[in-house]
Chain A
Amino acid sequence: MAAGGAPMLPPESGAPHVLIIGGGGTGGALAHDLTLRGLRVTLVERGEITSGTTGRHHGLLHSGARYVTTDRAAAIECSAENKILRRICTGSFEENDGLFVAITDEDAAYEKRFLEACWECAVPARRIEREAALRMEPGLNPDLKFAIQVPDATMDAMRMPLRFFATARCNGADMRPFTEVVAVTMAGRTVGGVRVRDRASNREYEIGADIVVNAAGPWAGKVAALAGVSVPVAPSPGVMVAIRGRLCNMVVNRLHSPADGDIVLPQRQLTVVGTSSWLVDDPDDLETPPEQIEAIVRESGALVPAVAKAEIRAAWSAARPLIGGSGATTGSGAASGESATGTPAGHAGRELAREWRCFDHAADRTPTEGFMTVAGGKATTLRAMAEGTADAVCAKLGLVRPCSTNDVVLLRHTAWYSA
């Protein structure tokens, strides 16, 4: 019996073995999806589960509204996944909705385009007049003109994904934190598994697999290099700041095209504000520039003025795993063979698009068998990324196994800690 009461194929002894590299939201959701499809799954993560980008994100469950005018496909996918996650992760969200607040005439002029785009992307949105908005969120800038209400929500950035890990493990997935991949084992151009170092014992050993999936997020490039392949993933850090005090209950956004410092949201008795965006080569080398902290706090103070006056409890950076976009960074033209594509290549906006992709490196110019990479995406789309990747894995293995993660309610995060 699978966790959550789902029908599950028994993990057959002869089932193909998939090894996932990376214990972030994507890897966890993929492990869950593949175990439900009856595959044997091992997941390795060099640190604690969710210690990379997943745990550091601001905890916003996107309604999709943030991307309706800039990345329509991402908006549509967020809108769909928002509803699914509320269903399969009940209790993991503060379902308080979000407001897009118009402060300037320029913001106000953006309303029509924004509402139309919300309509086209199936993101429920409605206008809230100034007085009503201030009754919902007394901390808003009193100079606001009006606000748009959308079904954003907040989550615990670690505990929501942890439910995927807990459920997958309960269903038979072998989860190994503190286990770092030091080499990809190959016979010619065919991947046969990985060599790992268990950091808890400092012991090295090999794990064989039929398919290795690189789900290392912004580290995907480093992991791919171990197999001698390249992926167009650009680590793009953003700064976030946690302010002491819960200064709002809803997710507060600025009504304009996505920019720096235009999200304010509650996390228990903190308020998290963000974010910024730049590109780095090494996702381990993250700085948190003081001038960015200042700028973000100043900008978000335009939405919720108390933010600019309250004490800062912490400031940190997280590296997004952005896909290189249509002008990809590796190869030329169509970079690698894509076997599954989430959202089509986005426009060149403020940042690279929020799309995600699954690459089968057997379709690379120099083919590498048995090795796939899933990269890009957002915390809100972790389940969809897992579905697309698991589809690709099953197709590659010649299996017809439908996805059932839409309907399986996940175990509570505490199940991860049961002996």
Chain B
Amino acid sequence: MNVRLRISRFKAGDRKRHFENFEVEVEPGATVLDALLSIRRRLDPSLVVRHSCMHSSCGTCGVRVNGREVLACDTKLASLPAGKQIRVEPLRGQRPVSDLATDMVDFYARFESAGLPLVRTAEVHAVEPPDGIKSFGRFENCIECGLCLSACPISRWSRSYIGPAALAAAARVVAEPRNLGLGPVLALASEPDSVWRCRDAMQCTVVCPSAVDPAGALLDLRRHVAARGLKRLMRRGA
């Protein structure tokens, strides 16, 4: 199968980005990442792409394909309009490294400022765990890919907005506090640049490759924040 890609290019020192067209032969069933790696290998070794696990579990290969945030490793070329040129651009709202690679430092900074753990292990209670294990543990769903932040129209215009991924992490703490105190999390969620900045565009949930549903999590968090505010008001009234 022959595919045509229009790839956003940028090298340190460039004044601005430009697009470059490539045509490459791929196997049936190939993904956007397969095509990008094939271009790097056969046509242009200077193409910079982030990737690691190749199966939507590490979250490093987030890009925009035809304007939509996706994981390149999880996007089959056959699922895109046949015969049409495929536009590939880096995620928005991150510092550029080169070409399609961005530096995720600002993404993580939003979590760090919130003092939130990202990938912690959750517990699975459904079945009987083996001797010596209290309950089965599992990593939470978020793979820190940053697609939600790139797709969020509020995050795009406001760098101070804490954003969907960090709010989803906050909602996880509220849903399952374990040994973390709720106070700081709810206080964070009550701030002006937090849950009330969201305008329910729902794009975060639409693009999430890992079914985290940040928009739904944010709605839950709003309920908690509102209930907390109401309680305070009533106390003041009494």
Interface residues, chain A, with chain B CB atoms under 8 Å away: 47-51, 54-56, 59, 91, 94-97, 128, 132, 135-138, 149, 156-159, 178, 180, 198-203, 240, 242, 246, 249-250, 266-270, 272, 284, 287, 290, 313-316, 318, 413-414, 417-419
Cβ contact within 8 Å between B118 and A136: no
Cβ contact within 8 Å between A50 and B127: no
Cβ contact within 8 Å between B58 and A156: yes
Cβ contact within 8 Å between A290 and B55: no
Q: Can you name 11 extra interface pairs (CB under 8 A) apart from A50-B52, A55-B52, A136-B127?
A: A51-B51, A94-B138, A136-B128, A136-B129, A156-B57, A156-B58, A180-B45, A246-B138, A290-B29, A413-B119, A418-B108
Cβ contact within 8 Å between B109 and A200: no
Interface residues, chain B, with chain A CB atoms under 8 Å away: 11-13, 27, 29, 31, 41, 45-46, 48-58, 60, 73-74, 97-98, 101, 103-105, 107-109, 111-112, 118-121, 124, 127-133, 136-141, 143, 210-211
Cβ contact within 8 Å between B51 and A48: yes
Question: In the assembled complex, which residues on chain A have CB atoms less than 8 Å from the CB atom of B31?
Answer: 314
From the candidates A48, A284, A315, name the one contacting B101 in the complex (CB within 8 A).
Answer: A48
Across the two chains, which residue of chain B brings its CB closest to A157?
B53
A and B contact pairs by CB, cutoff 8 A, 5 listed: A128-B130, A136-B127, A136-B130, A200-B98, A314-B54
- Among A96, A132, A135, the one with the most B-chain Cβ atoms within 10 Å of its Cβ is A96
Given A156-B119, A313-B74, A417:B98 Cβ within 8 A: no
Given A48-B60, A137-B127, A314:B52 Cβ within 8 A: no
- Among A138, A315, A413, A414, the one with the most B-chain Cβ atoms within 10 Å of its Cβ is A414
B91 to A: closest C-beta gap in Å:
14
Question: In the assembled complex, which residues on chain B have CB atoms less than 8 Å from the CB atom of A94?
Answer: 121, 136-139
Cβ contact within 8 Å between B51 and A314: no
Given A47-B51, A136-B128, A202-B11, A267:B57 Cβ within 8 A: yes
Cβ contact within 8 Å between A91 and B121: yes
Docked pose: A198 CA to B140 CA in angstroms: 35
Across the two chains, which residue of chain B brings its CB closest to A98?
B130
From the candidates A50, A157, A240, A250, name the one contacting B130 in the complex (CB within 8 A).
Answer: A250
Across the two chains, which residue of chain B brings its CB closest to A314?
B55
Question: In the assembled complex, which residues on chain B have CB atoms less than 8 Å from the CB atom of A201?
Answer: 11-13, 98
Given A48-B52, A136-B128, A199:B46 Cβ within 8 A: yes
Question: In the assembled complex, which residues on chain B have CB atoms less than 8 Å from the CB atom of A199?
Answer: 45-46, 48, 98
Cβ contact within 8 Å between A138 and B127: yes
Across the two chains, which residue of chain A brings its CB closest to B107?
A417
Question: In the assembled complex, which residues on chain B have CB atoms less than 8 Å from the CB atom of A156?
Answer: 57-58, 119, 139
Cβ contact within 8 Å between B137 and A51: no
Question: In the assembled complex, which residues on chain A have CB atoms less than 8 Å from the CB atom of B136?
Answer: 94, 96, 249-250
